[in-house]
Amino acid sequence: MNEQQRARRPGGRSARVGAQVHQAVTDLINERGYGNFTVGEVAARAGVADSSIYRRWGGLETLLTDVALTRLNAQSPMPDTGSLAGDLRMYAANVAREITGPDGLLLVRLAVALSSNGEQGQQARDDLRAERTRQLQSMLDRARERGEHAPDALDVLDHILAPMYIRVLFGIVPLTPDYVDALVDRML
C-alpha cells in the first residue's frame, strides 16, 4: 500500500488521530476561546506528538480551518423533502438545533476569530463561507430544477441563518420551531 492509498483510507490510525485532534481543538476553544492555546497544547490534549499536527496541518490556523470545515460538512445535511419550503424549514430547524447545542457556536467563533487573524485567517473565513454557500446552492438548485422560484444563497444566509446566529450570540434563546418557521415564511 503506497502513501497516497494510506492517506485516503477512511479508518485506521490516521482517522483516529484526526478525530482526537479535532476533539482537542473543540474542547480547548470551548474552555479557553480562540488564541489561548498552542499546537503543543492541542497535541498534549489529543495524545499525539505536535510534529504529527505540523506534518498534517502545517500550523494552528490550518488546523482550525480544517476543524471548522469538517464540522460544517458534518452539520446541517441538505434536506430533500420535495419542496423548497420543506427543505428550508428542515434545514433551518437543523441549524437551530446545532447552534443551540453544547458546541453550537464553535463554528461561528472560529470563523470570527480566524477572519481577524491576517491573510490566512481571511482565507479560512472565505473558505467557510464558500462551503456554506455551496451547500445551500445545491438545495436551491434542486428547487429550481423542480420549477420552484428559489432565492439566492446569500438571501438565505441573510434572512434565515443570520437572525438565528445573532439571537444565539446575544443569548436570545431558545430558537423555537415557530420562530424558525416564521423566518422561512418571511423569506419565501
CATH assignment of the domain containing 32: 1.10.10.60
To the question of pTM greater than 0.85 for the whole model, the response is no
The answer to whether 72 touches 132, Cβ cutoff 8 Å, is: yes
151 falls within a domain? yes
Owning domain of residue 44: 3-58
161 falls within a domain? yes
Q: Check whether residue 87 and residue 154 sit in a common domain.
A: yes
Q: Check whether residue 167 and residue 96 sit in a common domain.
A: yes
Give how many domains the chain has, as a whole number. Answer: 2
Residue 83 cell numbers, joined: 419542496
What kind and span of H or E run contains 155?
helix 153-156
Q: Check whether residue 98 and residue 180 sit in a common domain.
A: yes
Q: Check whether residue 164 and residue 102 sit in a common domain.
A: yes
pLDDT profile of the chain (188 residues), mean per 10 = 49 85 90 84 95 91 83 75 96 89 74 73 79 90 97 95 91 92 96
Residue with cell 423533502: 81
